[in-house]
Structure 1
Amino acid sequence: MVGGVRVETRHTGTDTLDEPVLTTIGRDAFSIYVKLIQVLYPPKGGNRDLLKEWDLWGPLVLCLMLGIILSINAPATQSLGVFTSVVVIIAVGSLVVTVQAKLLGGRVSFFQGLCVLGYCVAPLDIAALVSTFVRLIYVRIPVALAAWAWCVWASVNFLDGTKIEPQRILLAVYPLLLFYFILAWMIIIQ
């Protein structure tokens, strides 16, 4: 009872308050690794149980990594603008796609959507890293387009698991195509 109101808490059975910091960091790093593996090779329909335990650390790291890689390759006068653009595009794009999935009847929480869309940026990080060392446009274009297709494929596999009606799935996929294509285009023109 708190102030005359009965408060029920849900206990998961694990007490992490007194565990060492390295244990917490290790557990979180392993969780990020498992989710990255799911993005790099997503199962059909997405793993809903894994995504119930959403986090924003992995997407934040992937977003910052893409922004840093692209800003390093940009001219000095444009590097801050490139970094800011990448962070804003990922944040706003994830927000818009998640809200649209919810409006289309998808059974996904807001932070689950942000988590998945953030993790799906991982192939673009790989493409940006390759483009850093290989400056030939004939290599950058196919690598960036392959990463774009990979991001969309991983995201669509997740959307299949959100129970959006089949006739509405194209409405959810179109913003994904645009969202990841803008980032892929930034990699191509860097």
Structure 2
Amino acid sequence: MPTIVIADDSFLMRKNLRTIFSQAGYDVVAEAGNGKAAVKAYKEYRPDIMTMDITMPVMSGIDAVKEITSEFPQAKIIMITALDQKHMVFQAISNGAKHYIMKPFNISQVLSVVKSVLEGDETKKPTQEPYSVLKEEDLYIVAVKGPLEEKNLTLLQGTVQGLLLTERCQILFDLSENPFDEIVAVRLEEMLRKIKGSEGHYAIRR
């Protein structure tokens, strides 16, 4: 039976996740209410899966991921995040988290992500390639690592244009300088110009 540690500062969220996992046949061996306690629980129980809230007291979820994966690089940590924290997911993944679940979530979504991580299927890390495109509900997130060479920019332009046509994406948002709830619309040309010059995260709304 796979073991799980739940790290979240919300008692209600921990209770909900425990119920989901227990009913699905997983063994919840511990809970943690802050990042420091999460690190301690991981070291003590070495669970098959750990769910980690991004924002917690004492130590953030991202810092907890850094500390855990620095000692246990094989750790399978799934971030639990709200929509307005989406830009922080990339930091967590870049520092060793394997996947993420967006709140509000449903039972099937949670179990699907846990199953995929247990089987070794990870979210593509933005740092592995000059750029990557991740799909999340009605958004495609473009993560760019540093300035792009012309050939990569051309490839990305083709990818974005394909999304605009085949997925009927119509509005582009630049997330690199704005909180998620204050994003501003930009034209494709402006988005590509910004991407060419610096790293950042951009979203394409379907």
The bucket for the TM-score relative to the shorter chain is under 0.3
Q: Which has the higher helix share?
A: 1
Q: Which has the higher contact order (CA 8 A, sep 6+)?
A: 1
Name the TM-score, length of structure 1 as normaliser. Answer: 0.28
Name the TM-score, length of structure 2 as normaliser. Answer: 0.26
